[in-house]
Amino acid sequence: MSLNFNPIERRDKVIKSTDFDALSSKLSCFNKNYFSNDPNNDSSLFKSYIDQLKINLPLLASNNSLFKSFGNSKFSIQRLLNSNLNENLIKNKFPLINRGTYIRTKLLDILIQNFLISNNYENCQIISLGAGSDLRFLNLIKNFSSSSPHKIIHNFKYIELEFKESTFIKSFIYLSNPTFRDLIFNSSNFDSSLQYNTNYNINNINLSTFNIDTIQTNNYLLYPIDLRDKNQFTQFIQYLKNSTTIKINFNHPTLIFSELSTCYMSSTDSNVLLQSFQSAFPNGIISLYEPISLNDRFGEMMSNNLLKRKIFISTLNDYPTLLSQIDRFQSQITHFNKILSSDMLFIYNNWLTSNEKLRLSRLEFLDELEEWNLLASHYCLIVGTYGHSSLINTDFINQIQSLKWQIIH
């Protein structure tokens, strides 16, 4: 069966499929041992996720709502995932792509760790925009429970927001795997008792009748949303206000981050979204990891390559440099007390120890040093803090200022 799609649906299909690009890049990094002995990126968790996905591909492909969202035939999602998870193709990923994926993952891990430390692991709320198949939440709880001494996190909340097709796949993988289920529902490192919606029997998951796209516990929420849609955002905030399970405190320090996701929205949509988050969570940190074009030939090439896939990244044009991203935070989103920003090249050079750089250079020989410099200077991390909480304005700022930054405003 083949379906017809209008240009907007076609574009959204490609945007949704970028989650599988990210997954495939991470798989390549795991295969090449980039994350070896990294407690924030546990390889057994990642491999279990990929295995569970592969085993269930035929079933996922037969799910009506999924195949309509990812392709134009029943086999599209199967083809899409097969090509993204194909070990032979993954073997050939360029070393500089692996290094880029690794650094991007690390820099956000570092930011999150700094946020947790500066809040003394208490009352921290994290919201991941366009979380895709990111396994950070599982890694965090596994890491906390295996740490010595065993860490108790008081009032920790982690929310993942994504298109419903992706939250459906993730819900299925999480709920159908005992290790993931245990981490999510039975983790002993939380001080609150965990609950979940008992409308379904998690011991007997059947994909043909599976229709869950939301997971909620006292500490975790996986929630389906199109982040461009203001009504859906309002419904999400209402959902949080009504929830007697996750019990979000809107005044607690909240880290809201996007790892290559808000860049797929129009600049206006992403700025409005971030303003809405600021209104809903008055004490927070907004952090974006995005490509920047630098208005040069490499940036133009990036843009053209994306256009060939029908992906238009408006922020590449609208905020092409670190300075323009800072200006965006100041004039379009506003209310920030402090804005810090660096490109990935600066972060690679300044945040990684020489031992770590040596380890990376031994993992894979990178002869295209010039290309690495170009690629790495075309991605940036920007972090803005706002609100009155001293935990953010003093403690968090002190904590992250100990890292080097290219621009501090």
Q: Does the annotation flag 80 for ligand binding?
A: no
State the burial class of residue 117 (Cβ atoms within 10 Å of its Cβ: 0-12, 13-18, 19+). Answer: middle
d(CA 149, CA 38): 18
Return the number of the residue (19 or 395) whose C-beta is nearest ligand SAM. 19
Return the number of the residue (84 or 119) whose C-beta is nearest ligand SAM. 84
CA nearest to 271, candidates 292, 282, 286, 250:
286
Return the number of the residue (259 or 395) whose C-beta is nearest ligand SAM. 259
CA 131 from chain centre, in angstroms, equals 4
CA nearest to 161, candidates 277, 41, 333:
277
Return the number of the residue (227 or 391) whose C-beta is nearest ligand SAM. 227
Q: Does the annotation flag 307 for ligand binding?
A: no
Instruction: Give me the DSSP letters along 64-78.
Output: HHHHHHH-SSTTHHH
Instruction: Report, in Å, the least distance between residue 367 CB and ligand SAM.
Output: 27
Instruction: Report, in Å, the least distance between residue 49 CB and ligand SAM.
Output: 12
Give, in order, the Cα–Cα distances in Å from 116 to each of 127, 154, 262, 284: 13, 11, 23, 13
**Are 72 and 2 a contacting pair, CB within 8 Å?**
yes
- Which pair of structure tokens corresponds to residue 218? 């006292």
Return the number of the residue (45 or 202) whose C-beta is nearest ligand SAM. 45
- Which pair of structure tokens corresponds to residue 151? 């860490």
Q: Does the annotation flag 259 for ligand binding?
A: yes
Residue partners of 188: CB distance under 8 A and separation at least 6: 145
Instruction: Report, in Å, the least distance between residue 122 CB and ligand SAM.
Output: 26
The residue length of the chain stands at 409
Instruction: Report, in Å, the least distance between residue 148 CB and ligand SAM.
Output: 29
Return the number of the residue (95 or 130) whose C-beta is nearest ligand SAM. 130
Query: What counts of helices (H) and strands (E) characterise the chain?
Result: 20, 9
Binding site for ligand SAM (CB under 6 A): 15-16, 18-19, 22, 130-132, 134, 162-163, 166, 225-228, 259-261, 264-265
Return the number of the residue (311 or 407) whose C-beta is nearest ligand SAM. 311
Instruction: Report, in Å, the least distance between residue 273 CB and ligand SAM.
Output: 8
Instruction: Report, in Å, the least distance between residue 258 CB and ligand SAM.
Output: 7
Instruction: Report, in Å, the least distance between residue 198 CB and ligand SAM.
Output: 27
HEC readout, 169-228: HHHHHHHHCHHHHHHHHCCCCECCCCCCCCCCCCCCCCCCCCCCCCEECCCEEEEECCCC
CB-nearest residue to ligand SAM: 130
- Residue ranges at the known binding site for S-adenosyl-L-methionine: 104, 130, 226-227, 259
- Residue ranges at the known binding site: 104, 130, 226-227, 259
